[in-house]
Each structure stands twice: as structure tokens, then as C-alpha cells.
Amino acid sequence: FFHLCPSVFRMEEQDNTAGKKLQHQTRAEAPGTKSWQSQAYTLGAISNFMSTFLTFPIYKVVFRQQIHAVALSEAVKQLWHEGPQYFYRGIYPPLLSKTLQGTLLFGTYDSLLCFLSPVGPHSLGQRWTAGLMSGVVEAVALSPFERVQNVLQDARKQACFPGTFSILKEFNSYGLWGRLSLGYYRGFWPVLVRNSLGSALYFSFKDPIQDGLAKQGLPHWVPALVSGSVNGTITCLILYPLMVLVANMQSHIGWQRMPSLWASAQDVWDTRGRKILLIYRGGSLIVLRSSVTWGLTTAIHDFLQRKAHTKKEMTD
């Protein structure tokens, strides 16, 4: 699957060999160093901010397909008829949330991995556990941002809730429990399952895929880019039904009867004609978006990790 001919890159063999040694050494030592932890936080914030802004139009089309179960052309037509003033409606919550997501995801994972095993290399079980727990932290911290974003992106809510402030005002008018269950944390449980499993899968297999590609003699940035794209795409496809469920649960607002998680899942299944293909409507674009987003994030992450390690060696 990943077999490539190393002879094409024979002229760079020495440089790539050194690069691979640095790559393995960096990933083995980095979780225990303070400098790498700070680099992980910074990297996550910057890379996620940029990738979110660039891929937001794709996400908005996917969201319309998830909500209305329409074809790609129909989703694009909806946005076109609404006009350019609404095209980037709802971008501020995801920009903020994704920036925080990158900070929490990579930083928390690195800290937890260091706590589980201060000295690398780390086992699959340790990477899985650290990834799972970092996903839990991410879900708790960022679920309110996704909730507001999903309301903003639903065209049916534009008249009643023209902006973020109007949605926050609505949520804050509820009592304490209502603010959590009906407001900011509506649809939290599927978010928790999606984020925790997604983070565990991503961090568990990111390095093995990257190591397998690095053995082919490729330039050092290619394995990270491909590993992030492939791993992010596969993870996204596995968890896509949960994304559809979250989008539908969080797009509702107000004090209307709130169905249970099972009832919400059953409703989505019934409205999609009990067909897997309709559940995955919009999946082609989410694959593209995930491939670009996680490919860039992983490549930048690996680049900054190598730079930090090189700088540390020079100072030492």
C-alpha cells in the first residue's frame, strides 16, 4: 500500500538517513522535554487556525448535507442563493474552537504521554490512552463552541438568531441546568465519544504510518504529510455517522422537548431512509477537508518538532 521505490531518492540517501534518525530520536525524546511541550501548544494553535480558515467553505457545504440530506449541488445552490454575506457566517466559533483544539489536543496528549511514560519509545497502549484522555479534555472544553457554530450554520435559524450574541443571549436566559443540557452542552455525549475515539485513533497510528513511509527514503516532510492525511481521513470516515448525529442534535434550539440520544439517532436513521449511503452524504467533502487539515497539521507539527530538537542540540 505504501510501497515506494527508494532508488528514485538515492541521491539524497545520506541526508534522508540522518533525517530519519533525527525524526525517530525527536519523537522518542520530545515528550519528556519542556521545550517540546511549548512547541506542541504553539504548533497546534497556529496550524489549526490556518487550516480551519482555508477549509471552512468545505465544512459549511458538508453541514448543509448533514442537516438536509441533500446532494452536493443542492447544498452549494443553497449557499449561493443566500448570498456572499452569509457564506462565512458562523466562522468565528470554529476559528476560536479549532485554535483551542490544537492547543489542547497536542499539548494535553504530550503531557499525558510524558506522565504515562517519561522515557520513550511509547507503546501503542500508552499512545491510545493519552489520545483518548486528550479527546475527553477537548470535548469538555470545546463542545460549547461547536454548539454555537452549528446553530449559526443552520439556515432555518438566521431570522431568529442572526449572530453569535443572539444565541448566547438565548442560552443565558435559561436556568443553570438548562444552560448546560439545552444550551451549551446539548448533544455532548456523542461529541465525547467522537472526540475521544478520534484522538485515540489519530495518535495511535500517526507515528507507525509515518515511520513506514520514512523507510522509503522520502524527503522528511512527505511521511508526516501523508501520515496525517491518511490517518485523519480514515478516522473521519469511521466516525462520520457520529458527526451527522452531533450536527442534527446541536442545530436545535429552545425549550422544545429534547429527545434522548437513542431517539435522536433513530430519527436520523429514519430520515435518511435507513440507508448507510444517505448517512454518509457529504462524506466525500469531509474526506477532502480532513485530508487537507490533518495532513497540514501533522506536517507542520513534525517540522517544528525537528526544528526544536535541532535548536536544543546546538545549544547543548
Per-residue pLDDT of 102-159, as tens digits, reads: 888 888 898 898 889 887 788 999 999 999 999 999 999 999 989 998 888 887 888 8
Nearest to 228 by CA among 291, 287, 137, 155: 291
Percent of the chain with pLDDT over 90: 27
The pTM for the full model equals 0.76
Tell me the pLDDT band of 168, cut-offs 50, 70 and 90.
very high
Residue 177 has which C-alpha cell? 441546568
- Give the pLDDT confidence score for residue 12 in this predicted structure: 40
- Give the pLDDT confidence score for residue 15 in this predicted structure: 45
Q: CA angle 131-237-70, nearest 5°?
A: 135
Nearest to 290 by CA among 210, 209, 233: 233
- Give the pLDDT confidence score for residue 99 in this predicted structure: 87
Q: Is the pLDDT of residue 17 over 50?
A: no
Question: What's the one-letter identity of residue 142?
Answer: L
pLDDT digits (tens, 9 = 90+) for 193-215: 999 999 999 999 999 999 999 88
pLDDT digits (tens, 9 = 90+) for 66-104: 777 777 788 888 888 887 667 777 788 778 878 888 888
